[in-house]
Chain A
Amino acid sequence: MRSVGIRGLTAALLAVMVTSAAGALDLFVRSPRDGQVVFGEIDVEVEVLSAAPLVEITVSLDGEPTARLIAEPYRARINVGQDNRAHTFEITATNTDGETVTRRIVTGAIAVNDEVDLELQQLYVTVTHSGASVLDLDAAAFEVEDDNHRQTLVTFERGDVPLTAVLLVDSSHSMQGEALKSALAGAQAFVTSMAELDQAKVIVFSDRLLAATPFTGEPAAVSEGLAGVAASGGTAVHDHLYLALKELDGRQGRQVIVLLSDGIDGESVLDMVDVAWKAGRSPSLIYWIRPSSPNRTDTHYSIWRNAETSQRELDRLEHLVKTSGGRIREIEHIGQAPEAFREILRELREQYVLGYYPSLNRNDGAWHDVRVKVRAPGVRVRTRGGYVDDEL
């Protein structure tokens, strides 16, 4: 452990420092600032000035111990939740001379005079021309209709909006050996290629949850979380797709699910209509990497679903993927999984993000059809087909 020398601090920093009683230990909170409005995960970042080596820095949030920092950089990621309210941070530094100093930061809340129940609808739009992404459109090129009513765009972004993804890897018995290795390599390729603020969680499932990583941006954490997993058992796609949607509930940023599976569900307790119920209330984009199968046209059935129901469930899954704004990426063999994962990530980087407040917000649990038109010749547009407007 080492102290930070005074020479390393700028004059501006010194100007706002508060000197401790002994004068040999001080700290400065770079983030968050007093009065700043904070939601979700934020970084708490601290600079320290100490003559003696530092022992620790503790961070409490609203009276609860939350983090302990013992080495540079003195930074911790803390989730403050989504409530619009002030939070109190107390940050205490202690050095080997027994000196301590505490700083208190009180964040702010958005002043609300009248609460309006309006849900910002965000649409993630992929625009292509002859298979290539079209990346030079501006807001004026887009026209959004919600239940056939034209909407006013209030936000427009292009390119790299941070994403939070769940990568669902079907690892039933048929994926034993090299197939599972390729599938996991695909998930790993996705995480490795993510941008700095992106996060992903990998879920490996069969008829049960076989392994899951935390949400992370670190490829090493994925390797560690999936070590030793082996393919076995049947398949429960619906249940784990629902789990992925649930994992993304309330998460910040663009929500994405990538499913790698043939989609044939043998043993789920939930039906696709249940998953669709949830997906209609979620902004998640669902992508489906589907290995081609020589038996694709075969009739599938299980003890739980007859052939007719199984086919209907597969059709519903296809429909769900398309309605979410994602797509089905066919691969000829499982060895192409890494490239498919990377391709999907590239596509996500090239999306437009349109935001609007629906003019006919009803909160009645009904489905709203959404259509996006682009004023450009020969382009293809893909985005979610609609949403359910009730609150979960």
Chain B
Amino acid sequence: MEVDGVSLLDALPTDESDEMSQPQRLRLELHVYAMTPDHQLAGSWSHRIRLPISELREPLAAGGVRFAGHLELPTGDFELRLLALEPKSQRFALRHLDLTVPASLTPPLFPDADTWIQVREPGAAPPTGIPAIDRPAALPVLRAGQTHLLWFHNTNPEAIPRSARWLPVSEADAIAAADTVSAQALEALCELESQTLAASEDRLRSRTWMKSGQERVIEQLAATEPESLIPLLALHVAAHDRYVKQPGSDPFLPGSSRERSLMLAEVYTRQAPRAVGRSLAASALAEVGVAIDRAGLWIASRRMLEESLTLDPDQASTLLYLAYWHQRRAATDDAVPLLRQLLAVAPQSLQGKLRLAHGLAQQGQTSEADRLLRQVLHQGGSDWMLTIAYQELARLLLAQQRDDEAVSLLAGAVAHLPSQQRLRIQLAYALDRVGKGHRGSEIVTALPADRGRPSPRNLYSQRPQTAGNDGRQALQRRAMARLPLLTQALDQTKGSR
């Protein structure tokens, strides 16, 4: 943000005595808000600065104040609202700016930002030590300054016509066409795998070819190009998503994608255990875990989620999802430790507190459950979460024969959330218990029907809406952190030509 110095100096008081009594300072407040198109706050910062005028009057008059702030924003369109305020005079300036954070700058570990660009240091040699192999595989590598994106190695003449297949992308288009390139890579992999399976009438033999070929490539990459395992993992995750959604796919393919994803993550962790890479691999596995849970492959899903947490135990969204996975099967004893771990890494997680309280109540640990539920109510949240917090707290009170407290709690809940039908039913029950059945009848009389939305307890039973989102946002932030390196590498490569 830049603020004109002359106008700032104009805002200063001219009282000489004030100037004599203490060093004169210019105070300035700077606020920035990034708003989404649906008017949600996506990011903000506020800073208050003080400038000693006696020392800076001259440069300030000649120029102004320039302040560099930092916002972490996901891909998308935003309206930036910038406010500069001089608090003493209350003079201010407000500007609105449109900002687009492009998707092509984010890696392809998530379906809605399908891009990954791998960059080498300027002047680095192209990958070496990748021999031609006799089984089909995919190896997506983009080298700055080169015109080829994908190498497919295959010497099996039945699988695809050529031993190597090149998908070109020009250097100038490298970033702009990144989405397309990634889609091409996915297309190529899926085509390759399908053709490989169809190449022989002996299906078992085809599958063995594909499996062993891909495994060999993975091992070779692990030795020579370990960082490329991550985009390859992303590619298999995307392929899995496509196979699951695409009717008519060979039933072997989704399972194969899952196995390759797991192997890539494991090999990467063994060979190149960098924190960022582990986290990326963990997020990718969590993505697959959630996707196959939706597809009904529950046991495989749990395995993926557990592997993901082995790679990165601090993923809040994965901890929440795996805890939910256990809760849905009424496996409270398995869910509770995960929820405790979740609250250790994300102490403000409302769902974490709510689900832990529920689990503890089921285990009979009522005092801790009571404390957590009251925290949720104090902290505030969406209506459905608050409704459940009220309901579960009331259940605890009623179970302890604290009927009057339950009535007070539920009466407050109904006043707070009057449209929640089943808070009213529970209040009527509590009133019955304290001998005020007639009052309960009034509360449930003409209970309004609700055809529009699931009940809070039904929402609680559904998959956590945030699963994967936290991971995506973390990945996006990490991708942004890598951006300067990428830009520098590309610039230097261009400059060297």
Contacts and interface: CB of A to CB of B under 8 A. Distances in A.
A392 B435 contact: yes
Closest 9 CB pairs of A and B: A306-B330, A267-B457, A207-B458, A392-B437, A207-B455, A301-B330, A208-B455, A234-B458, A303-B461
Nearest to B441: A249
B451 A267 contact: no
Nearest to B392: A269
16 contacts: A208-B454, A208-B458, A209-B421, A209-B448, A210-B450, A242-B425, A247-B444, A268-B457, A269-B395, A269-B426, A269-B457, A270-B429, A302-B328, A302-B461, A303-B461, A309-B330
Interface string B189-214: 00000000000000000000000000
A379 interface: no
Given A233-B458, A236-B455, A307 B425 contact: no
A392 B447 CA distance: 21
B451 A303 contact: no
Contacts of A309: 330
B329 interface: yes
Given A232-B454, A233-B458, 19 more contacts: A208-B421, A209-B449, A211-B449, A212-B449, A229-B451, A232-B451, A234-B457, A239-B422, A239-B426, A242-B428, A243-B425, A246-B432, A246-B441, A250-B438, A266-B461, A267-B455, A267-B458, A269-B425, A274-B429
B391 interface: yes
A320 to B, nearest CB: 15
Interface of A: 207-212, 229-230, 232-234, 236, 239, 242-243, 246-247, 249-250, 266-270, 274, 277-278, 301-307, 309, 391-392
A270 B426 contact: yes
Nearest to B443: A246
A233 B327 CA distance: 19
Given A247-B444, A269-B395, A303 B454 contact: no
Q: Looking at chain B's contact residues, is the secondary structure mostly helix, strand, loop, or mixed? A: helix
Interface of B: 324, 327-330, 332, 391, 395, 421-422, 425-426, 428-429, 432-433, 435, 437-438, 440-441, 444, 447-451, 454-455, 457-458, 460-461
A268 B455 CA distance: 10
Contacts of B450: 208-210
B455 A246 contact: no
Nearest to A225: B449
Nearest to A238: B425
A210 B451 contact: yes
A236 B425 CA distance: 12
Q: Looking at chain A's contact residues, is the secondary structure mostly helix, strand, loop, or mixed? A: loop
Contacts of A212: 447, 449
Contact of A209 (B429, B432, B435, B447): B447
Contacts of A233: 454-455, 458
Contacts of A268: 457
A210 B447 CA distance: 10
Contacts of B437: 249, 392
Nearest to A274: B429
Contacts of B435: 391-392
B282 to A, nearest CB: 25
B422 A303 contact: no
A16 B330 CA distance: 74
Given A207-B457, A303-B460, A392-B432, A270 B425 contact: yes
A243 B330 contact: no
B447 A243 contact: yes
A71 to B, nearest CB: 27
Contacts of A306: 330, 332
Nearest to A266: B461
A150 to B, nearest CB: 31
A270 B426 CA distance: 7
Contacts of B329: 301
Nearest to A212: B449
Contacts of A208: 421-422, 450, 454-455, 458
A118 to B, nearest CB: 19
Nearest to B399: A271
Contacts of A243: 425, 428, 444, 447
Given A236-B457, A302-B330, A303-B461, A278 B425 contact: no
Contacts of A232: 451, 454
A247 to B, nearest CB: 7
A82 to B, nearest CB: 11
B426 A246 contact: no
A233 B437 CA distance: 29
B328 A303 contact: yes
B429 to A, nearest CB: 6
Contacts of B441: 246, 249-250
A230 to B, nearest CB: 7
Nearest to A172: B458
A250 B327 CA distance: 41
Nearest to A305: B330
Nearest to A307: B330
Which of B329, B421, B422, B440 has its CB near the most chain A CB atoms (within 10 A)? B422
A234 B454 contact: yes
B375 to A, nearest CB: 20
A278 B327 CA distance: 30
Contacts of B461: 234, 266-267, 302-304
A251 to B, nearest CB: 10
Nearest to B437: A392
Contacts of A209: 421, 447-450
Contacts of B454: 207-208, 232-234
Contacts of A305: 330
